[in-house]
Chains A and B, each alone.
Chain A
Amino acid sequence: MKWFDYECPRTVEAAVGLLSAPGRKVRALAGGTDLLVQLRAGRREADLVVDIKEIRELNELRLDSTGLTIGAAVPCYRIYNDPAIARAYPGLIDAVSLIGGTQIQGRASLGGNLANAAPSADAVPVLIALGARCLMAGPAGARSLAVEDFCVAPGRNALAPGELLVSIHIAAPASGSGAAYLRFIPRNEMDIAVVGAGASVVLDGNVFAEARIALASVAPTPLFAAQAGDSLIGKPVGEASINAAAEIAKAAAKPITDMRGTAEYRRHLCGVMTRRALTRAIARAKETN
């Protein structure tokens, strides 16, 4: 690992200033559970590391009538330890409670999971399914972006130079809604999703009013399978509609063969995991009805 400089700004403005330093390789540091590992292995380089954990907005965790605001540096454990959040967003809890183990969850943030832009990131599919938005600040001011548009390539995100992810916002859950995230891994812990599936549904009686499905590890970026979700709208809840949506998700996937599984196997799992995630989301939606 090479030496780097370290700064720990207190404000978004100061962080943006540091991140915009001309001619330097600058990296934001939240929990560091991706970044430090990558720096040590020589997979990323940095001359300057900007620790963003002391910035107030990035540590905010607020549930109100508009929904949930999660500061980009909030570690996973704070999210699942909040009973009101856990009740309102069980699908999100699925994801934050399976990232790493207890130690990792004490540090790892949703912002880092998203900004790292891994196709396998576990929190991203459920954020997409929940229709979450990213709020960013940069030299040119603030803007927001749908989560499904945030990751652009493996390890690359939509942040412009000098831009910082400030928070993630998820709308308040509609009545009759439910969400879930599931991943398939060969072990039961400490593994990277071979395939992950996030699903969110809103039911009107026994009919899908809304549905969104997203997948991990089956494309260069987390995959929003919009057509799979859309196919459910207006259909009755049941095996036929769920299987049809799973088939569409399967067709949307563009998996590769690697040490974590063959393309054929991954495609097969897309169907299985989509079905299982939908089934769990539906069960939760029925509970809240």
Chain B
Amino acid sequence: MSAKAYSVIGTRPIRHDGADKVTGRALYGADFTAAGLLHGAILRSPHAHARIKRIDISRALAYPGVKAVITSADFPEAAERTVDMGEGDTPLSYARGNVLAIDKALYRGHAVAAVAAASLHVAEEAAALIEVEYEPLGCVLTAPEAMLETAPQLHEGKSNLASQFQHVLGDAAKGFAEADVVVEREFNTATVHQGYIEPHNATALWNNDGRVHIWCSTQGSFVVRDCTAIILDIPVSQVKVTPMEIGGGFGGKIPVYLEPVAALLSKKTGRPVKIVMTRKDCFEATGPTPGSFMRVKIGAMKDGRITAAQAYLAFEAGAYPGAMVGPAGMTVFAAYDIPNAVIDGFDVVVNKPSTAAYRAPGAPNAAFATESVIDELAQKLGIDPLEFRLKNAAKEGTRRVDGPKFRRIGCVEVLEAMKNHPHYSAPLGGPNRGRGVAIGFWFNVGLQSSATLNVNADGTVNLVEGSTDIGGTRTSIAMQAAEVLGIPVADVNPSVVDTDTVGFTAVTGGSRTTFATGWAAYEAAQDVVRQMKERAAKLWEIDATAVSFDAGVFTSGERKLTFKELADRLPATGGPIVGRATVNPPGVGGSFAGNIVDVEVDPETGKTSILRFTAVQDVGKAIHPSYVEGQIQGGSVQGIGWALNEEYYMGADGTMMNSSFLDYRMPTALDLPMIDTCIVEVANPGHPFGVRGVGEANIVPPTPAIANAIQRATGVRMTRLPMSPPAIMEALWRESSSQRSSGN
């Protein structure tokens, strides 16, 4: 466990961007404006699957006030090739096609054409005047159906099964033969959306010198730069992205949707063009997380040792391949030491919006299946569900089914913390109540980050970095620099800057920002210390190696200079000091999270109330504990949403019927108890301060923990998400009619 004493790390300072955010001064993407700004509107497909036979833009173009109309025909000509849009190789036509449909509309809401006009009203009215001749085709909405030979094919000449994989460890058949008890169940999870508050937006100016400037809300300004350049077939150096403040992303603000469109409209008009999505656009045309069909089978001996496991995972990619079934396959059994296992994964295209990352993508689906089966096994074996998990928990050295061996992880520590938590032994206190537990795992990622520190004469430093700040990372990064420099974090002034101004920095995602950009800030601070030691040495006329630095003070024998004193003397000792660093750290630490949940289910309505919710997570080292708690609470709340009510409710024709926050039911404050957090710190040996990513693992256990609690409250095991009141009521009816018919 992390025992080292720090002066800044582990404290709870106020955030640097707090004043701007609480006063409403912070500028978000939709706040951006510029002289001559035009407004863009997008025409979207009313069909979930249709061939586009003809597009006539003449009436729209003739509409007074309209400045330009574009379709996919306006993409510059480029030969088909594979491109890297940040998540592996994709054909260029797919990358472009999701931005403006080429030949076919593949989901309802698919962008087909766009208009720029002097006002949004004019742009919207003109968009409605674009005539599109569609040939509607049959649509397919789930992975199992799309895998049938008779299913409508989305991409000509290509199977809807875009890819598949298999992981094998040991001999599963032998393992199941050894088992005393085997449980096998099928599970379905609904398509769900990240539900960030701020809709997607982008403004682009294609300048006369050929450079494109983009202002937008994104998790990765360099991703926007690179993807826009790929789609428009221009060099990355021609694109500059200025990230505005971001109102949530959760993975959904990594892909580009509007930026290339706004850029093309700007190219045609010579003016900046701004496009802002509506909530309906966000639901229908940005990437939700895949719906999934899963079958999981696990066998165990009477003493509670798991002998074998098997998983079949079919995930809906949406319109284009890339369903995040890979991470599902890597996490599905990651919490356990299982000697024999087989995992099959299938990435299947369907007529729904192209899916995107969503907080630990793939893992919550997989955990819903595994942790439900684990719970049922524990019940069948008569073993306490936490003891059963502890008996089989993954540890340092455990080999995952997909190959890698775990380094130091905190799975056991999380389980122990759950077992010892007063919640686990508290009385339930009423009828129709149940308590469930579950755990979950997420890898986290490293990837490239850059940072610079400019030392000011007053002893403060300006921190320049490129990670857009979603969860308070300006502060969590600045704290790591402050710790090294031995100065208060208020003396570090962080700025998130544009892509021309900082070195390459990967997305704010994969729980990497505090880990990797924090590491860059740590290294940049070390660089500052090294240079400042040289200045002290110069002043004292000694060798730099004779200068030591501790807690913000440079010393050599009796001589002392505080950081602030020395900062004031830089002009006289050689000029300004800039510390810099770029990192691509390997030592990523995976994170485990666990939940204890009490529910009450109304037997007459099927409605579940969450009475008490405890979220435990191994975070390595909590740099800023309040933000860590915020991440844990946020992930838990999203998981509760998946569990209870959130779903794309699809009509048979592929229309999402509930594309508003009224009917896409995310939990409100009134639906939740205070989410009690419990931070476990098993230091990550791969990070200077022991940091593991904390943003994602917390969304993994809630759905099975709640399902397990509902099972204990009602006796019915829910295998389909969401476990909405009608779904639970129907399960209760089925249960009581089957009990009647079996004469119980």
Question: CA separation between A186 and B645, bound complex, in Å?
Answer: 7
Chain B nearest CB from A144 CB (Å) reads 33
Q: Which among B606, B665, B730 is the interface contact of A191 at CB below 8 angstroms?
A: B665
1/0 per position for B632-661, CB-CB distance to A under 8 A? Answer: 000000000000110001000000011000
Question: CA separation between A272 and B604, bound complex, in Å?
Answer: 7
Q: Which among A188, A260, A265, A268 is the interface contact of B663 at CB below 8 angstroms?
A: A260
Cβ contact within 8 Å between B729 and A190: no
Cβ contact within 8 Å between B662 and A192: yes
Once A and B bind, how many residue pairs between them come within 8 Å at the CB atom?
Answer: 52
Name the residue of chain B whose CB is nearest to the CB of A259.
B649
* Known pairs A259-B663, A272-B604; A187 contacts B726 (CB<8 A): no
Name the residue of chain B whose CB is nearest to the CB of A275.
B604
B585 within 8 A of A: no
B572 within 8 A of A: no
Chain A nearest CB from B604 CB (Å) reads 5
Q: Which among B607, B644, B657, B730 is the interface contact of A258 at CB below 8 angstroms?
A: B657
Cβ contact within 8 Å between B605 and A272: yes
Spot the interface stretch: B306-314, B487-495, B503-511, B666-674.
Answer: B666-674
B residues near A2, Cβ cutoff 8 Å: 121, 125
Cβ contact within 8 Å between B657 and A188: no
Cβ contact within 8 Å between B657 and A186: no
User: DSSP class of A's interface residues: helix, strand, loop or mixed?
Assistant: loop
A90 within 8 A of B: no
Interface residues of A in 227-269 (CB under 8 A from B): 258-262, 265, 268-269
A77 within 8 A of B: no
Cβ contact within 8 Å between B668 and A261: no
A residues near B657, Cβ cutoff 8 Å: 258-259
B72 within 8 A of A: no
Cβ contact within 8 Å between B605 and A269: yes
1/0 per position for B209-225, CB-CB distance to A under 8 A? Answer: 00000000000000000
A residues near B726, Cβ cutoff 8 Å: 261-262, 265
Question: CA separation between A42 and B668, bound complex, in Å?
Answer: 27
Question: CA separation between A259 and B726, bound complex, in Å?
Answer: 11
Cβ contact within 8 Å between A259 and B121: no
Question: CA separation between A269 and B604, bound complex, in Å?
Answer: 8
Cβ contact within 8 Å between A184 and B605: yes
B725 within 8 A of A: yes
Please, how many residues of chain B have a CB less than 8 angstroms from a CB on the other chain? 24
Most buried by A among B121, B607, B645, B667: B607
Name the residue of chain B whose CB is nearest to the CB of A268.
B729
* Known pairs A1-B121, A2-B125, A3-B121; A187 contacts B662 (CB<8 A): no
B residues near A192, Cβ cutoff 8 Å: 662-663
Cβ contact within 8 Å between A186 and B665: yes
A189 within 8 A of B: yes
B556 within 8 A of A: no
Question: CA separation between A190 and B669, bound complex, in Å?
Answer: 11
Question: CA separation between A46 and B662, bound complex, in Å?
Answer: 24
A residues near B665, Cβ cutoff 8 Å: 186-187, 191
B207 within 8 A of A: no
Chain B nearest CB from A240 CB (Å) reads 18
A residues near B606, Cβ cutoff 8 Å: 265
B392 within 8 A of A: no
Chain A nearest CB from B469 CB (Å) reads 28
B residues near A188, Cβ cutoff 8 Å: 668, 670-671
* Known pairs A268-B729, A269-B605; A190 contacts B668 (CB<8 A): yes
B531 within 8 A of A: no
B548 within 8 A of A: no
B residues near A186, Cβ cutoff 8 Å: 607, 644-645, 665, 724-725
Interface residues of A in 186-240 (CB under 8 A from B): 186-192, 194
Cβ contact within 8 Å between B658 and A265: no
Cβ contact within 8 Å between A259 and B658: yes
Question: CA separation between A31 and B607, bound complex, in Å?
Answer: 32
* Known pairs A1-B121, A261-B726, A265-B730; A187 contacts B670 (CB<8 A): yes
Question: CA separation between A187 and B609, bound complex, in Å?
Answer: 9
B residues near A1, Cβ cutoff 8 Å: 121, 124
Q: Which among B604, B649, B668 is the interface contact of A187 at CB below 8 angstroms?
A: B668
Question: CA separation between A269 and B667, bound complex, in Å?
Answer: 22
Name the residue of chain A whose CB is nearest to the CB of B662.
A192
Name the residue of chain B whose CB is nearest to the CB of A190.
B668
Cβ contact within 8 Å between A189 and B605: no
B residues near A184, Cβ cutoff 8 Å: 605, 607, 725
1/0 per position for B117-133, CB-CB distance to A under 8 A? Answer: 00001001100000000
Name the residue of chain A whose CB is nearest to the CB of B607.
A186
Name the residue of chain A whose CB is nearest to the CB of B664.
A259
1/0 per position for A91-131, CB-CB distance to B under 8 A? Answer: 00000000000000000000000000000000000000000
B residues near A187, Cβ cutoff 8 Å: 645, 665, 667-668, 670-671
Question: CA separation between A186 and B121, bound complex, in Å?
Answer: 36
Question: CA separation between A189 and B661, bound complex, in Å?
Answer: 12
Most buried by B among A3, A189, A259: A259
Chain B nearest CB from A215 CB (Å) reads 15
Most buried by A among B124, B125, B657, B729: B729
A residues near B125, Cβ cutoff 8 Å: 2
Q: Which among B121, B607, B662 is the interface contact of A190 at CB below 8 angstroms?
A: B662
Interface residues of B in 159-213 (CB under 8 A from A): none
Chain A nearest CB from B115 CB (Å) reads 16
Chain B nearest CB from A249 CB (Å) reads 15
Question: CA separation between A260 and B671, bound complex, in Å?
Answer: 17
Question: CA separation between A261 and B649, bound complex, in Å?
Answer: 11
Chain A nearest CB from B557 CB (Å) reads 67
A residues near B604, Cβ cutoff 8 Å: 272
A residues near B729, Cβ cutoff 8 Å: 265, 268
Question: CA separation between A187 and B664, bound complex, in Å?
Answer: 11
Name the residue of chain A whose CB is nearest to the CB of B656.
A259
Interface residues of B in 546-602 (CB under 8 A from A): none
Chain A nearest CB from B727 CB (Å) reads 9
1/0 per position for A142-160, CB-CB distance to B under 8 A? Answer: 0000000000000000000
Name the residue of chain A whose CB is nearest to the CB of B722.
A186
A residues near B644, Cβ cutoff 8 Å: 186
Question: CA separation between A177 and B532, bound complex, in Å?
Answer: 84
A residues near B730, Cβ cutoff 8 Å: 262, 265
Cβ contact within 8 Å between A191 and B662: yes
Question: CA separation between A23 and B614, bound complex, in Å?
Answer: 62
Name the residue of chain B whose CB is nearest to the CB of A40.
B278
B residues near A268, Cβ cutoff 8 Å: 729
Cβ contact within 8 Å between A189 and B668: yes
Chain B nearest CB from A68 CB (Å) reads 29
1/0 per position for A6-48, CB-CB distance to B under 8 A? Answer: 0000000000000000000000000000000000000000000
1/0 per position for B601-624, CB-CB distance to A under 8 A? Answer: 000111100000000000000000
B residues near A189, Cβ cutoff 8 Å: 668, 670-671
Question: CA separation between A272 and B725, bound complex, in Å?
Answer: 14
Chain B nearest CB from A4 CB (Å) reads 11
A residues near B668, Cβ cutoff 8 Å: 187-190
Most buried by A among B121, B658, B665, B730: B665
A residues near B645, Cβ cutoff 8 Å: 186-187
Interface residues of B in 37-63 (CB under 8 A from A): none
Question: CA separation between A262 and B733, bound complex, in Å?
Answer: 14
Chain A nearest CB from B92 CB (Å) reads 35
Chain B nearest CB from A129 CB (Å) reads 21
B residues near A3, Cβ cutoff 8 Å: 121
A interface list, Cβ under 8 A from B:
1-3, 184, 186-192, 194, 258-262, 265, 268-269, 272
30 A–B pairs (Cβ distance < 8 Å), ordered by A: A1-B121, A2-B121, A2-B125, A3-B121, A184-B725, A186-B644, A186-B724, A186-B725, A187-B645, A188-B668, A188-B670, A188-B671, A189-B670, A189-B671, A191-B665, A192-B662, A192-B663, A194-B725, A258-B657, A259-B649, A259-B663, A261-B725, A262-B726, A262-B730, A265-B725, A265-B726, A265-B730, A268-B729, A272-B604, A272-B605
Q: Which 3 A-B pairs have the closest CB atoms?
A: A259-B649, A188-B670, A265-B726
